[in-house]
Amino acid sequence: MASKDTHKDESGSLYKKAEKIYPREVHGLFAMWRSIGVLVLLGIYYIAPWLEWADRQAILLDLPNRKFYIFGLTFWPQDFFYFAVLLIIAAFALFFFTAIAGRLWCGYACPQTVWTEIFMWIERKIEGDRPQAMKLDKMPWNARKLRIKGTKHILWLLLAAYTGFTFVGYFTPIDHLTLRILDLSLGGWEWFWIIFYSFATWGNAGFMREQVCIYMCPYARFQSAMFDNDTLIISYDEKRGEPRGSRKRSEDPAEKGLGSCIDCTLCVQVCPTGIDIRNGLQYQCIACSACIDVCDSVMDKMGYEHGLIRYTTENAMQGKPAHILRPRILVYASALLLMAGALGYAIATRVPLEIDIIRDRTKLFHETSRGLIENVYLLQIINKDEQAHDYNLDVSGIEGVKAILKSNVIHIDKGNIAEIPLRLHVDPYDLKKRSSEVTITLQATDNPDIRIEEVTRFLGPTGRR
Amino acid sequence: MADDNLPTCQKTISILWPSFLTAGLATVLFFTAFDPAVLLQETRFADTSRLGAYSIGFFLFWLLTTTSCALTCFYRKPCSPKK
């Protein structure tokens, strides 16, 4: 009976009509860890946008103003490099943990898992556990079914709406967002994204669930490339379990010629992706370890040892020695450490000053009444620091080059951009080429470490006359 | 062909989903490099808020990537010599 509803993927096709899965509720060690994970991660998600840091939201990816605030740091679009390195670090961290412990991410930390867990928790509170939910779905629509389903969807939608609101709160200050929702003055696009994200949450965590993991997730498609024989996987101990079969608690399985598996199919019933772990490692398995917990509880009842389904490795299953440190792990770990160190160093030594030099394109150069060659530039100077600074400007590269500025000291407020016209004068006798390099140096008067150099070109008539 | 057994819904999603991912990536890269407020300031869309510009930009990218995903699916079908 069990094997009938477990061989769902015989067609070999990745896409088929989805059957609704009713995972049975599970208690045990790993279920507890998963609950802790869900609580901690959801707690971080819902609380983080409300944290304050120096009179502003601590984590604010302020898209409308093109500045990202992460606690004491402010990132500008020009700092995209850090974001790119962060993504590479995240990728290597994923590779590293996958190689060591398999799909830890999928089972415990992925938002898809986390929100599915909380949505299923609500569903169980309203509809009851697996048999009741299945019965409810089979029965014809009546007032009771409508009431139960309605309650569930209202609760789901409320949670989804709050999730969408929180999501937008990461990108636009959440206290203003709250006020503007309350007095109905919120802009159309903010409403749009709140509703969009809410519906995505409702759909993904309420309906699509394991199908997101099986069909849509890119990581699920390539995670097996990081696996080797020493990767921690969830596995059924076939040698110990087979031949499976039901028996009375008092019977000795050895006498009946049976293994430890009593074929209760609970491991299939608790599986959120609807697979039978006894068929071996499958790509649908998100390593949530629900089957371990439920099987251990059955082993307890039967008076057998734990671990018929357990975390193990291919090598351990075959009685070979396990290796934690292996080339793959060392490569991932060193790449991870190297990139993380580089990012840490780059952020620690980051100069909170940026300069863009834009040439005046209407005239390449011209001659002043005193016979000097003049080039005109527009300086865009960004003070990325959290305090105002005065800056000195210095030009070098051509002998006798003179900078003409409105004032000698450039003052820029914190987090501001100043556009400063700059004229450079050079005696034509000092020009050796049509186009010469000049270096513009900017340095804060109160902190010599805040200093940047930028190279641009000075154009003139053909060299010496 | 195996493809023809796919329900229309899944065919549609298999076009919309990859294009959604790449459109998101394109939007991030494009608007990191270009500030919509600067791009639009000389046009008659100068009043568009940045959030609006990002959003419209995302949907335009999505339209573009959807088109190319759909064309890939379309041209993947071998043409029958009998027709």
Considering only CB atoms, B32 lies closest to which of A77, A172, A192, namely: A77
- Residue A78: per-residue pLDDT: 84
Name every residue whose Cβ is closer than 8 Å to that of residue A76 and which is 6 or more positions away in sequence.
Answer: A66, A67, A68, A354, A382, A384
Considering only CB atoms, A189 lies closest to which of B6, B7, B52, namely: B52
- Residue A94: per-residue pLDDT: 92
Task: Evaluate whether A421 touches A411 at the Cβ level (below 8 Å).
Answer: no
Name every residue whose Cβ is closer than 8 Å to that of residue A26 and which is 6 or more positions away in sequence.
Answer: A270, A290, A293, A294
Q: Name the pLDDT band for A424 (thresholds 50, 70, 90).
A: very high
* ipTM for the assembly: 0.85
Q: Residue A154 pLDDT > 60, yes or no?
A: yes
- Residue A166: per-residue pLDDT: 96
- Residue A430: per-residue pLDDT: 84
Q: Residue A5 pLDDT > 80, yes or no?
A: no
Entry pTM? 0.83
Rg (CA), chain A: 32
Q: Residue A396 pLDDT > 60, yes or no?
A: yes
Nearest CA to A286 out of A348, A231, A213, A211 is that of A213
Residue A94, both tokens: 């994923």
Q: Measure in Å the smallest separation between the Cα of A264 and chain B Cα atoms.
A: 34
Share of chain A above pLDDT 90, in %: 55
Residue A258, both tokens: 């049976």
Collapsed DSSP state (helix, strand, coil) of residue A377:
strand
Task: Evaluate whether A31 touches A290 at the Cβ level (below 8 Å).
Answer: yes
> One-letter amino acid identity for A170?
Y
Geometric angle at alpha carbon A393, from A387 and A396, rounded to 5°: 145
Residue of chain B with shortest Cα separation from A13: B2
Q: Residue A52 pLDDT > 60, yes or no?
A: yes
Please give the order of strands across the beta sheet that includes A59-62.
A59-62, A67-70, A73-75
Residue of chain A with shortest Cα separation from B9: A17
Q: Name the pLDDT band for B82 (thresholds 50, 70, 90).
A: low
**Tell me: the pLDDT tens digits for A277-290?**
999 888 889 999 99
Phi, psi at A325, each rounded to 5°: -85, 110
- Residue B54: per-residue pLDDT: 94
Domain ranges of chain A: 17-350, 353-459
Residues of A in contact with B39 (CB under 8 A): none
- Residue A180: per-residue pLDDT: 92
Q: Distance (Å, rounded) from C-alpha A220 to C-alpha A284?
A: 8
**Tell me: the pLDDT tens digits for A351-384?**
889 898 988 888 888 888 988 999 999 999 999 8
- Averaged confidence pLDDT in chain A: 88
Q: Distance (Å, rounded) from C-alpha B17 to C-alpha A8?
A: 24
Considering only CB atoms, A187 lies closest to which of B13, B51, B54, namely: B51
Residues of B in contact with A17 (CB under 8 A): 7
User: Using CB atoms and an 8 Å cut-off, which of residues 70-89 of chain A contact chain B?
Assistant: 77, 80
More confident site: A6 or B19: B19
B52 to A172: CB separation less than 8 angstroms, yes or no: no
Q: Distance (Å, rounded) from C-alpha A152 to C-alpha A160?
A: 12
Q: Distance (Å, rounded) from C-alpha A249 to C-alpha A275?
A: 27
Out of A7-16, A175-184, A230-239, A314-323, pick the least confident.
A7-16
A69-107 burial, b at 16+ Cβ within 10 Å, e below that, comes to: beeeebbbeebeebeebeebbeebbbbbbbbbbbbbbbb
B51 to A172: CB separation less than 8 angstroms, yes or no: yes
Share of chain A above pLDDT 70, in %: 95
Q: What is the DSSP string of A174-234?
A: HHHHHHHHHTT---HHHHHHHHHHHHHHIIIIIIITHHIIIII-HHHHHGGGG--TTS-EE
Q: Residue A17 pLDDT > 70, yes or no?
A: no
Residues of A in contact with B6 (CB under 8 A): 15
Residues of B in contact with A356 (CB under 8 A): none
Q: Is A28 left (phi over 0), alpha (psi -120 to 50) or beta?
A: left
Residues of A in contact with B7 (CB under 8 A): 15, 17
Q: Which residue has 């000389």 as its token pair?
A: B42
B54 to A63: CB separation less than 8 angstroms, yes or no: yes
Nearest CA to A456 out of A432, A427, A424, A428 is that of A424
Q: To probe the interface with A, which of B14, B51, B54, B58 has the most A CB atoms within 10 Å?
A: B51
User: Using CB atoms and an 8 Å cut-off, which of residues 193-222 of chain A contact chain B?
Assistant: 193, 215-216, 218
Task: Evaluate whether A342 touches A390 at the Cβ level (below 8 Å).
Answer: no
Q: Residue A407 pLDDT > 70, yes or no?
A: yes
**Tell me: the pLDDT tens digits for A157-193?**
999 999 999 999 999 999 999 999 998 888 889 999 9
Task: Evaluate whether A438 touches A459 at the Cβ level (below 8 Å).
Answer: no
Q: Distance (Å, rounded) from C-alpha A111 to C-alpha A197?
A: 13
Q: What is the DSSP string of A88-143?
A: HHHHHHHHHHHHHHSSHIIIII-HHHHHHHHHHHHHHHHH-SHHHHHHHHHSPP-H
**Residue B43 DSSP class:** S
Task: Evaluate whether A382 touches A354 at the Cβ level (below 8 Å).
Answer: yes
Q: Measure in Å the smallest separation between the Cα of A337 and chain B Cα atoms.
A: 26
Touching check for A190 and chain B: CB below 8 Å? Answer: yes
Nearest CA to A38 out of A99, A122, A94 is that of A122
Topology at the third CATH level for domain A353-459: Immunoglobulin-like (2.60.40)
- Residue A212: per-residue pLDDT: 87
Q: Residue A1 pLDDT > 60, yes or no?
A: no
Q: Name the pLDDT band for A10 (thresholds 50, 70, 90).
A: very low
**Tell me: the pLDDT tens digits for A376-395?**
999 999 998 888 999 999 99
Considering only CB atoms, A64 lies closest to which of B7, B33, B49, namely: B49
Tell me the average pLDDT across A74-83: 88
Touching check for A185 and chain B: CB below 8 Å? Answer: no
A77 to B49: CB separation less than 8 angstroms, yes or no: no
Residues of A in contact with B13 (CB under 8 A): 215-216
Residue A220, both tokens: 């699920």
CA distances from A23 to A207, A265, A424, B38 (A): 13, 12, 73, 52
Q: Measure in Å the smallest separation between the Cα of A145 and chain B Cα atoms.
A: 28
Q: Which residue has 């409810």 as its token pair?
A: A136
Q: Measure in Å the smallest separation between the Cα of A64 and chain B Cα atoms.
A: 5
Q: Residue B7 pLDDT > 80, yes or no?
A: no
Peptide bond between residue A327 and the one before it cis (omega within 30 degrees of 0): no
Nearest CA to A352 out of A395, A378, A391 is that of A391
- Residue A143: per-residue pLDDT: 93
- Residue A3: per-residue pLDDT: 40
Touching check for A64 and chain B: CB below 8 Å? Answer: yes
B49 to A187: CB separation less than 8 angstroms, yes or no: yes
- Residue A463: per-residue pLDDT: 52
More confident site: A2 or A160: A160
- Residue A8: per-residue pLDDT: 42
Contacts 24+ apart (CB under 8 A), B50-54: B50/A63, B50/A64, B50/A65, B50/A66, B51/A63, B51/A64, B51/A172, B51/A187, B51/A189, B51/A190, B52/A187, B52/A188, B52/A189, B54/A63, B54/B27
